[in-house]
Amino acid sequence: MQAIDKFRNRILCGDALDILKKLPSESIDCIITSPPYWQLRDYGIDGQIGLEPTLDEYLEKLLNITKELKRVLKPSGVLFWNHGDSYGTGKGQSYGGLKKGIYAKMYPHGRQKPKMVYKSLCMQNYRLAMYMVDEQGWILRNIIIWYKTNHLPSSAKDRFTNAYEPVFFFVKQKKYWFDLDAIRVPHKSIDRRFGRGRIQYKQRPAGVNGGGTFLNQHPLGKNPGDVWAIPTRPFTAKSLGFTDTDHYATFPEDLVTPMIKAGCPQWICNKCGRPRERIVNRRVLEYKAKPYNAGTKFIHHGEGKSTLGSPVVRVTVGWTDCGCNAGWHSGIVLDPFAGVGTTCVVAKRLGRDYIGIDLNPQYCEIARRRLETVPVNIERFLNEE
């Protein structure tokens, strides 16, 4: 039995840092989370993060957690960190008369203490991301913009409404497990440069990259990019038997789903620990087509037979096999600030294992009840022979 198995598929109630220290090193495949934002919400729980008197203290607590997250994450693992911001109020948000020696002891890296400016964004999220890269060695691959299509209006009259939050996509090393083909999205249009609404193929001259006819666009869809337009989803625990009808600060499932599909392998070898990877081959497809224009190098779907040959496309034909013949287990998704368990719910629905951590006992119980309503994904047991 692996050391991580006693934590697998459980909601753990307690301090995130304390519990993370109990997890074995390099045991987690994917981390998806959103920490409490500084000075924005009181959850009414002793020891909660977010109500520190200074931004420095808040960032230091989170850096202790991100340090542990890097330890427990596999070398091939990924981290998606959703983190919003707040505005300076001018009250209790700087060290003021703190002696220089005390500050140096608390922050041996020599970083400059944040200067809080009234009405200015604190940049708590970007400061943390920079410290993670500079001091802990994380690699920041993307900053995904989560555009909230149903964002709340703002009463402020001297600035624009906040309509998005960033999601920082971190990895530990240059090469990591990532399945882009699992989350491609349909093309909204077909190569408008060469004709509106036509599916077209590019004819390469003989001797150029092998020649032949190739799709001008990826047949499985386009890369979703780093701007995701996803509405927020209110959640109430009343349907689970709780008497309150509060709406919690939950992830929308549509935000978490592509992160898990792309960042957490569904099959990992029980013996060598190697995750299976998608095998994509080139195939020649037969299409009836006719020249788009006399003398053009591009063709499209239509009646008749193409004079330029059949297109070559990339298609999924299977998954790699390490050859151990020891069976497979699912990758683990970890959420150290699980709240009411949305990340874990989506992970279970997609056939991945999960670990959720939260300080609030009521949130933990809500998460457990939500997970009980999610059926086991039988796809996780496929391709095991």
Give the residue extent of every domain in the chain.
Answer: 3-184+223-275+320-381, 189-222+278-319
Q: What mean pLDDT do residues 158-167 have?
A: 96
Residues 77-130: tens digit of each pLDDT = 999 999 999 998 865 554 433 334 444 444 555 566 777 788 899 999 999 999
Distance CA 12, CA 213 (A): 54
Distance CA 44, CA 321 (A): 49
Q: What is the pLDDT of residue 318?
A: 86
Q: What is the pLDDT of residue 129?
A: 98
Q: Which residues contact 156 (CB under 8 A, 6 or more apart)?
A: none
The DSSP output letter for 373 is T
Distance CA 248, CA 341 (A): 11
Give the least confident one: 187-191, 308-312, 317-321, 367-371. 308-312
Q: Find how far residue 115's CA is from the centre of its chain.
A: 31
Q: What is the pLDDT of residue 316?
A: 73
Strands 200-204 and 298-305: antiparallel
Q: What is the pLDDT of residue 317?
A: 78
Q: What is the pLDDT of residue 187?
A: 74
Q: What is the pLDDT of residue 298?
A: 40
- For residues 383 and 161, the model is more confident at 161
Q: What mean pLDDT do residues 321-327 have?
A: 93
Neighbours of 19 (CB within 10 A): 18
Q: Which residues contact 27 (CB under 8 A, 6 or more apart)?
A: 2, 3, 4, 72, 74, 332
User: For the residues of 4-40, what is the DSSP string, one character each?
Assistant: GGGTTTEEEES-HHHHHTTSPTT-EEEEEE-PPPTTT
Phi-psi region of 48 (alpha: psi -120 to 50; beta: other; left: phi over 0): beta
Q: Which residue has the tokens 């497979």?
A: 328
- For residues 283 and 232, the model is more confident at 232
Amino acid at 360: N
Comparing C-alpha atoms, which of 263, 260, 273 is closest to residue 328? 273
Beta bridge partners of 11: 356
Amino acid at 163: A
Q: What is the pLDDT of residue 236?
A: 79
Structural contact between residues 57 and 74, judged by C-beta atoms closer than 8 angstroms: no
**Which pTM was predicted?**
0.82
Q: What is the pLDDT of residue 190?
A: 53
Q: What mean pLDDT do residues 346-350 have?
A: 97
Give the least confident one: 77-86, 286-295, 346-355. 286-295
pLDDT of residue 181 exceeding 80: yes
Structural contact between residues 357 and 336, judged by C-beta atoms closer than 8 angstroms: yes
> E strands, the chain, where?
10-13, 28-33, 73-82, 139-147, 164-171, 200-204, 212-215, 227-229, 268-269, 278-284, 288-291, 298-305, 311-319, 328-329, 332-335, 353-358
Instruction: With cut-offs at 50, 70 and 90, classify the pLDDT of residue 186.
Output: confident
pLDDT of residue 384 exceeding 50: no
pLDDT of residue 310 exceeding 90: no
Residues 85-95: tens digit of each pLDDT = 999 886 555 44
Instruction: With cut-offs at 50, 70 and 90, classify the pLDDT of residue 173.
Output: very high
Q: What is the pLDDT of residue 207?
A: 47
pLDDT of residue 1 exceeding 70: no
225: tokens are: 């990019």
CATH fold of the domain at 3-184+223-275+320-381:
Rossmann fold (3.40.50)
Degrees, nearest 5: CA angle 266-269-272:
140
Residues 140-151: tens digit of each pLDDT = 999 999 999 999
